């Protein structure tokens, strides 16, 4: 599975908030969305809290040395 990114997560969270605020979903789905939204918010927060600046060189990406370079 692809690694969850901050950007994707926060976009999904924004969508969920929008859907929830429209109030058009049945209760079960609302609760499910709420649960998912909360998880995403926790994930995003932890991304920010745990972020440590990483600096690498382009040349290392090109030679594939950097293990976490997707």
Partner 1 sequence: MTAPSVLSVSQLNTYIKSIIDGDMNLANIFVCGEISNFTDHYRTGHFYFTLKDKDSSVRAVMFRTANQRLKFRPENGMNVIARGRISVFERDGQYQLYIDDMQPDGLGALNFAFEQLKNKLAAEGLFDQNRKKAIPKYPERIGVITSPTGAAIQDIINVLSRRFPLARIIRCPVQVQGTSAAPQIVDAIQRFNAGSYADVLIVGRGGGSLEELWAFNEESVARAVSGSKIPVISAVGHETDFTICDFVADLRAPTPSAAAELATPEIFEQKSYITAMRYRCGKSVQDEIRHQRERLSRLQASPGLTSPVMVIESYRQRLDGYLSSMQACLDMKISGGRNTLAVLSSKLDTLSPLKVLGRGYALAYCSGTLLHDAAAVEPGSDIEVKLEKGKLFCSVKSVEKQN
Binding site for partner 1 (CB under 8 A): 5-7, 10, 13-14, 16-17, 20-21, 23, 27, 30-31, 33-34, 37-38, 41, 44-45, 47-48, 51-59, 61-62, 69
Residue closest to 37 by CA, chosen among 21, 6, 15, 4 = 15
Q: Is 26 left (phi over 0), alpha (psi -120 to 50) or beta?
A: beta
Q: Residue 50 CB, nearest distance to partner 1 (Å)? A: 9
How far is residue 70's CA from residue 57's CA, in Å, rounded to a whole number?
A: 15
Q: Residue 1 CB, nearest distance to partner 1 (Å)? A: 17
Smaller CB distance to partner 1: residue 1 or 3?
Answer: 3
Please tell me the total number of residues recorded for the chain in this structure: 70
Smaller CB distance to partner 1: residue 1 or 55?
Answer: 55
């Amino acid at each position: 599975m692809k690694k969850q990114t901050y950007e994707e997560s926060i976009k999904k969270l924004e969508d969920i908030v929008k859907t929830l605020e429209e109030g058009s979903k049945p209760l079960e789905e609302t609760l499910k969305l709420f649960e998912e939204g909360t998880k995403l918010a926790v994930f995003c927060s932890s991304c920010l809290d745990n972020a440590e600046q990483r600096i690498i060189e382009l040349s290392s990406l090109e030679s594939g040395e950097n293990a976490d370079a997707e």
